[in-house]
Structures are given as structure tokens and as C-alpha cells.
């Protein structure tokens, strides 16, 4: 049986509009594992038509646990974890293949620089760039945290950084952005409260103002023009609602949310 050097893992739900471009950008991999949580569109059929192994998953445990499910199904020496709205650029693809071929040195995990498109525009400044995410790692040395959202890979060993962009086709419209903000702010609030953090109106206001200043001024989001301002406001508003929801969760649920 041929050796599996690189596995690509994805989790999906109604990603029919994204899955093809995502998988085509990593056609150089040896294995593609998709864990799908109840898609009602053609996500599964499209993924299977491109050679992916698709596994259905009941329920939704959160991003971290779901990605660990996909990781457990992978068999490659190396794992590249992607979201369906991400694409590997040609330069990054070449770097990844070099690592898999043994040219990555002693590192057991690699950070990728993610370049995101917001409402149709690539954002080269502010909080979103360079958005470094650790996504390529030795299968036996890494796993995802169990966070509901903003999960991350923890690698037991040295890490490094690869050149090239991971292209993120996120939030094509403001409606998409607002919907995502509502879902993610709640999930992140739950993670924070479980970790012993508390929020409230004061924390929501102060953190929201700081998030705007950091993104728009300190990280030069203003260089992205009008949408740089819109994105900084979006980040500030998401931060505000996250801390406000943390306060609500703490007051309403008390000890019903236990640290994991």
C-alpha cells in the first residue's frame, strides 16, 4: 500500500460553494478527510467526486472537538488542516511539499500566513494580517484544543513558519459577517467563561474600544481604505458582544458552565 505522507483534513457544513476550490488547491496531497456535520447541500457529493473520504458526524461538539475527529481519521505522516473557505496558494503549496519531502528541518509544526478577503477586498493590514495560524504538523505530535471557536493546534515540539499565503475567502458580504459575529461571539464567550473569565458592560466597552484602536491605528488598518475602517469596527463590535455575553453567561448560568 502506498505510503501516506500528507493528509488534508476538513470539517464541513453546507460548503458546496467552497469545497471544490479548497480541495483543488491541495490536489498534491495523498489523502483528503472530510468530516461533515449534516450538510443539506451537495458538499459531500462534491468532496467525494474529488477523491475525498467523507465521514458523517452527528451533532456539533464545537470546532476544536470536530477537528480532532477529522485528525483521528487521518493516516498521513503530516496533516494539513483547512477550512472549506481556505485555499493554498501555489507558493505555499510548494513550501508544504518541501516540508513533507523532509526539507523542514527539526520543526514538527508550521505556521501559515493567512490572507483574508472581507466583503470582496483582500485585507493587508489591521488585526487580520498577517494572521498566522498553525495548520501543518506531524500527525503524532499535534492536536486541536477543545475550544468551541478559535481552536488552535498544540504541537509537542519545535515549530517554524512557512512563506506563502493561505487564502481565506471569508465573509463575502456584511450580512455574512454579522451572522458570523453573532455565532462566534457566543461560542468564544462560552470558552472564556469555562476558563474562569468574567465579562460585563465595563469590560465590553473597554475591550471594544481597545480592539478598534489596535486594529485601525496600531496595526494600520486605515491603509486598507474604507473597508479597513469597517473591519476595525466589526472587530470592535465582536469584542464588545463577546464580553457582554460573558457577563450574561456568568450571571445566568453560574456554575452550570464548568471548566473543561
Q: How confident is the model at residue 251 (pLDDT cuts 50, 70, 90)?
A: confident
Q: What fold, for 6-168?
A: Spore Coat Polysaccharide Biosynthesis Protein SpsA; Chain A (3.90.550)
Give the predicted TM-score (pTM) of the model. Answer: 0.89
pLDDT at 91 over 90: yes
pLDDT digits (tens, 9 = 90+) for 119-137: 999 999 999 998 999 999 9
Average pLDDT over residues 144-163: 95
Report, as an integer, the average pLDDT of 232-244. 96
- Domain ranges across the chain: 6-168, 174-256
Asked whether residue 226 carries a pLDDT value surpassing 60, the answer given is: yes
List of E strands, the chain: 6-12, 31-36, 53-56, 78-81, 86-88, 109-118, 121-122, 131-138, 142-144, 153-155, 159-168
Q: Helix count (H) and strand count (E) of the chain?
A: 7, 11
| Mean pLDDT across 169-188 | 90
Amino acid at each position: 500500500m502506498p505510503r501516506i505522507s500528507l493528509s488534508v483534513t476538513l470539517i464541513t457544513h453546507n460548503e458546496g460553494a467552497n469545497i471544490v476550490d479548497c480541495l483543488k488547491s491541495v490536489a498534491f496531497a495523498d489523502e483528503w478527510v472530510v468530516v461533515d456535520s449534516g450538510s443539506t447541500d451537495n458538499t459531500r457529493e462534491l468532496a467525494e467526486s474529488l477523491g475525498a473520504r467523507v465521514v458523517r458526524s452527528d451533532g456539533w461538539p464545537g470546532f476544536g472537538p470536530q477537528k480532532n475527529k477529522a485528525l483521528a481519521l487521518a493516516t498521513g505522516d503530516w496533516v494539513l488542516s483547512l477550512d472549506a473557505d481556505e485555499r493554498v496558494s501555489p507558493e505555499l503549496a510548494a513550501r508544504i511539499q518541501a516540508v513533507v519531502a523532509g526539507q523542514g528541518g527539526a520543526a514538527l509544526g508550521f505556521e501559515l500566513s493567512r490572507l483574508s478577503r472581507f466583503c470582496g477586498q483582500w485585507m493587508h493590514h489591521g488585526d487580520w494580517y498577517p494572521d498566522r495560524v498553525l495548520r501543518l504538523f506531524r500527525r503524532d505530535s499535534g492536536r486541536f484544543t477543545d475550544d468551541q471557536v478559535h481552536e488552535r493546534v498544540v504541537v509537542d515540539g519545535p515549530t517554524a513558519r512557512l512563506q506563502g499565503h493561505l487564502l481565506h475567502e471569508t465573509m463575502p458580504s456584511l450580512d455574512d459577517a454579522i451572522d458570523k459575529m453573532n455565532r462566534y461571539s457566543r461560542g468564544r464567550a462560552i470558552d472564556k467563561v469555562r476558563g474562569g473569565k468574567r465579562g460585563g458592560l465595563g469590560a465590553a466597552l473597554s475591550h471594544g474600544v481597545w480592539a478598534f484602536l489596535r486594529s485601525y491605528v496600531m496595526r494600520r488598518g486605515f491603509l486598507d481604505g474604507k473597508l479597513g475602517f469597517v473591519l476595525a469596527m466589526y472587530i470592535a463590535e465582536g469584542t464588545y458582544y463577546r464580553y457582554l455575553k460573558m457577563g450574561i453567561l456568568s450571571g445566568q448560568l453560574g456554575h452550570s458552565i464548568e471548566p473543561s
